[in-house]
Amino acid sequence: MSAVPTTSKPAPRRGRPGYDQDAVVAAAVELFNRHGYEATSMGMIADRLGISKSAIYHHVPGKEQLLEVALDRAISELEAVLDRPAARERPVDQRLEYVLRAMVGVLVDELSNVTLLLRVRGNTPMERRAMERRRAFDHAVADLIEEAAKSGALRSDLQPRVVTRLLFGMINWITEWYRPDGPLRREELGDSVVAIAFDGLRPRG
Amino acid sequence: MSAVPTTSKPAPRRGRPGYDQDAVVAAAVELFNRHGYEATSMGMIADRLGISKSAIYHHVPGKEQLLEVALDRAISELEAVLDRPAARERPVDQRLEYVLRAMVGVLVDELSNVTLLLRVRGNTPMERRAMERRRAFDHAVADLIEEAAKSGALRSDLQPRVVTRLLFGMINWITEWYRPDGPLRREELGDSVVAIAFDGLRPRG
């Protein structure tokens, strides 16, 4: 799904001007998130890196491919969570706890890319493909919550569909406030999400 | 703070072409949320209403005033929550429960205006004033959560600052998925938020 084949990924190209594709993508994503994708030009990305526009085209075919690489990284990391044994081979409440914690981990590790993914509105076929993969991921988590509710692992007075969206809100909103250089570690954040989701804020007596 | 004084608000002006200010603001907000504020022109708003551009200027001085009115409505409704007796004169856990539920109510009732408020990035002095009021509101809720934690009404192993942001995430994210014409009523949504926030999803034995 990535425009830049990862199977035959060469060692980062590091001739002059000294930027590999990761650095170009990272600069592009930062500008996309700050100014919006439409308002960001290849010239702005080049300026940001201090290289010429033609040097950028040495690394990527165009702006849409930069967006595609970033979206693919975000969604691939989320998809990978569901493939891990801890998300597949344990009692359903433990699997759900694992998935919520791992989602927080991906959000923190891929903060800029996930931020971009959450803002995509489907303006191009490529954006719609990314949104479709995100929806499939959301549905898989919703199914897990439904399964947990049916098994009696979750309280029965709340609608699983609503619960899913509220939990996604807690997690997705992290992109709005989390600062990677702040004091809050990803593990602590994951613990807090799981603590509220499963046990709430009231002290259990 | 509103560009259009509400104290001396006249009855809706309903000569030809038959639109009062509320309808103009509503159309503008819908377009701002769909296309972005920058990408929306007064001409597009006029087209949407099926009236001429000059007819719009009969109702409002310009695009920024439409944004200002919408942001003011959203933030004023949120501020009003904190002024109500139920948010001031009861045990702290009841006040917090009231405020969370009332925030959900405002989000549902003012869905488009709050959506706009959450997307504002501070590009103009007016936008920055709206963001400042929103921040003051956020801080007041954070103080309430801190007070509840200190009083022992909330578990003590979570940081109130992190809890605040996770609860805001659950609530603010509602703007991303709630459909006013869907089957989920605002009261049920408020109950679900309060249920997860205070008691979590695990059945209490």
What is the tens place of the pLDDT at every residue in B84-115? 999 999 999 999 999 999 999 999 999 999 99
Residues of B with CB under 8 A from a CB of A: 36, 38-39, 93, 152-159, 162-163, 165-174, 176-177, 184, 188-189, 192-193, 195-204
The answer to the question of residue B10 being in a domain is: no
Preferred mutation among A92, A201, A202, A204 to probe B, highest tally of B CBs within 10 A: A201
**Chain A contacts to B (CB-CB under 8 A):** 36, 38-39, 93, 152-159, 162-163, 165-174, 176-177, 184, 188-189, 192-193, 195-204
- Where does the pLDDT of residue B14 fall: very low under 50, low under 70, confident under 90, or very high at 90 and above? very low
Instruction: Please indicate whether, in this complex, the C-beta atoms of A166 and B196 are within 8 angstroms of each other.
Output: yes
**Contact between residue B49 and residue B27 where contact means Cβ atoms under 8 Å apart:** yes
- The answer to whether the Cα torsion of A187, A190, A192, A195 is positive or negative is negative
Q: Which candidate from A38, A39, A198 shows the least CB-CB separation from B200?
A: A198
- Give the residue carrying structure tokens 């004033």: B129
Q: What is the DSSP letter of A86?
A: G
**B158/A93 touch (CB, cutoff 8 Å), yes or no:** no
Domain coverage including residue B136: 70-199
Structural domain includes residue B178 = yes
Whether cis (ω within 30° of 0) applies to the bond prior to A125 is: no
Give a yes or no: residue B11 inside a domain: no
For residue B184, is it within any domain?
Answer: yes
Asked whether residue A178 is domain-assigned, the answer is: yes
Q: How many domains does chain A have?
A: 1
Structural domain includes residue B95:
yes
> Mean of the per-residue pLDDT values for chain B?
90
Nearest to B170 among A152, A166, A189 (CB): A166
Q: How far is CA B65 from CA A137, B5, B11, B26, in A?
A: 40, 11, 19, 13
Residue B21 lies in a domain: no
- The dihedral built from the CA positions of residue A9, A15, A19 and A24, taken in this order, carries a sign that is negative
Cα–Cα dist A77/A87, whole Å? 14
Question: Distance between CA B154 and CA B191 in Å, rounded?
Answer: 18
Residue B7: predicted pLDDT: 42
In terms of average pLDDT, the best of A32-41, A54-63, B141-150 is B141-150
**Averaged over B180-200, what is the pLDDT?**
96
Task: Give domain status of residue A164, yes or no.
Answer: yes
Distance from C-alpha of B194 to C-alpha of B96, rounded to nearest angstrom: 9
Q: Evaluate whether A56 touches A46 at the Cβ level (below 8 Å).
A: yes
Going by C-alpha positions, the residue among B136, B143, B178 that lies closest to residue B163 is B143
Q: Which amino acid is at A3?
A: A
Q: Band the pLDDT of B59: cuts 50, 70, 90.
A: confident
Residue B205 confidence class, pLDDT cut points 50, 70, 90:
low
Which residue from B36, B155, B172 is facing A169, i.e. has the nearest CB?
A: B172
Report the residue count for chain B: 205
**Complex ipTM more than 0.90, yes or no:** no
Question: What are the respective helix, strand and coil percentages of chain A, to the nearest 5?
Answer: 65, 0, 35
Q: What does the pLDDT look like over A75-116, one tens digit per residue?
A: 999 999 999 999 999 999 999 999 999 999 999 999 999 999
pLDDT band at A18 (very low <50, low <70, confident <90, very high): low
- CATH code assigned at B184: 1.10.357.10
Share of chain A above pLDDT 70, in %: 90
- pLDDT tens string A159-183: 999 999 999 999 999 999 999 999 9
